[in-house]
Chain A
Amino acid sequence: EVQLVESGGGLVQPGGSLRLSCAASGFTVSSNYMSWVRQAPGKGLEWVSVIYSGGSTYYADSVKGRFTISRHNSKNTLYLQMNSLRAEDTAVYYCAREPLGGYYYMDVWGKGTTVTVSS
Chain B
Amino acid sequence: SYELTQPLSVSVALGQTARITCGGNNIGSKNVHWYQQKPGQAPVLVIYRDSNRPSGIPERFSGSNSGNTATLTISRAQAGDEADYYCQVWDSSCHWVFGGGTKLTVL
Contact = CB atoms under 8 A, between A and B. Distances in A.
Contact of B96 (A50, A61, A109, A112): A50
A45 B95 contact: no
Interface of B: 31, 33, 35, 37, 41-45, 48-49, 54, 84, 86, 88-90, 94-101
Interface stretch (A19-27, A65-73, A76-84, A98-106): A98-106
Given A44-B100, A45-B35, A45-B98, A104 B90 contact: yes
Contacts of A11: none
B49 A45 contact: no
Given A35-B96, A45-B35, A94-B43, 9 more contacts: A44-B98, A45-B98, A47-B96, A47-B98, A105-B31, A106-B45, A107-B48, A109-B42, A109-B44
Contact of A105 (B42, B49, B95): B49
Binding site secondary structure of chain A? loop
The contact size tier of chain A is: 20 to 34
A86 interface: no
Contacts of B89: 104
A50 B94 CA distance: 12
Nearest to B101: A44
A37 B90 CA distance: 14
Contacts of B96: 35, 37, 47, 50, 104
A111 B84 CA distance: 16
Nearest to A47: B96
B20 to A, nearest CB: 14
Q: Which 9 A-B pairs have the closest CB atoms?
A: A104-B90, A47-B96, A105-B33, A109-B42, A44-B101, A45-B98, A44-B100, A105-B48, A107-B45
